[in-house]
Amino acid sequence: MINKLSQLLNAANISLSDQQKQQLVGYVELLHKWNKAYNLTSVRDPQEMLVRHILDSIVVSPYLQGERFIDVGTGPGLPGIPLAIVRPEAHFTLLDSLGKRVRFLRQVQFALGLGNVEPVQSRVEAFNGEPPFDGVISRAFASLNDMVSWCHHLPAKEGRFYALKGQRPDDEIAALPPQFRVTEVVALKVPELEGERHLVTIQSV
């Protein structure tokens, strides 16, 4: 697993410490183990998880600005856990409404010694989000419109929304309310992943 991860990181031009690699592999092992009982992800093969969960999450790291982030609808911790491992100086709140997912996240936090994550069980619209966040991140979440309307209370004044998408969502971008503007759309390269990946960054005007 470490060898495979190292190959993928090299292909993506990402350099991590041995400890970070161990933590990422440890997370995949926990995900694989708990998946049998908790059904956390449809991806069953740990090698495939390295591509579709780990690399797919951490390729966005260079585009994130700030220190405090919230991953809304984090599920089993994606992209929040991999990002927290590669950005130990930043803090990640991992928000999900399902208790079993949050229990899994607490186990990951404990097993991997991640002091920079905080799993929270809540619906996003009920979460007070104080102090506000530098970045609101979502992966495979609702439409951009739903994201900004449900999460509008979470970013700081200069904060940003980061939406991880597949194909470039031009229809969703066009449908955004006028008080929000897209500041960047980045085509992401994920080694060994089929299909397109884009990061859409949004700010309130």
What confidence score (pLDDT) does residue 44 get?
Answer: 95
| Nearest of 90, 72, 62, 68 to residue 156 by alpha carbon | 68
Binding-site members for S-adenosyl-L-methionine are 73, 78, 124-125, 139
Given strand 198-204, what is the order of strands in its sheet? 117-121, 91-96, 68-72, 133-139, 155-165, 198-204, 180-187
- Condensed to tens digits (0 to 9), the pLDDT of residues 55-112 reads 999 999 999 999 999 999 999 999 999 999 999 999 999 999 999 999 999 999 999 9
Contacts for 42 with CB less than 8 Å, ≥ 6 apart? none
Burial class (CB in 10 A: 0-12, 13-18, 19+), 5: buried
Confidence of residue 142 (pLDDT cuts 50, 70, 90): confident
Supply the range of the domain harboring residue 43: 1-204
Bridge partner residues of 199 (DSSP): 164, 186
Residue with tokens 């590669």: 86
What confidence score (pLDDT) does residue 140 get?
Answer: 79
Which amino acid does the sequence have at 107? Q
The vertex-52 CA angle with 167 and 159, nearest 5°, equals 60
Across the chain, what does the average pLDDT equal?
Answer: 97
Question: With contact defined as beta carbons under 8 Å apart, do 163 and 32 qualify?
Answer: no
pLDDT(144) > 90:
yes
Q: What is the rounded average pLDDT of the residues 9-32? A: 98
Q: In the chain, what percentage of residues exceed pLDDT 90?
A: 98
Number of domains present in the structure of the chain: 1
198-204 and 117-121 strand pairing: unpaired
Which amino acid does the sequence have at 55? L
Confidence of residue 141 (pLDDT cuts 50, 70, 90): confident
Largest CA distance in the chain: 47
First-to-last C-alpha distance (Å) of the chain: 44
Binding-site members are 73, 78, 124-125, 139
Model pTM above 0.85: yes
Give the domain CATH number at 93: 3.40.50.150
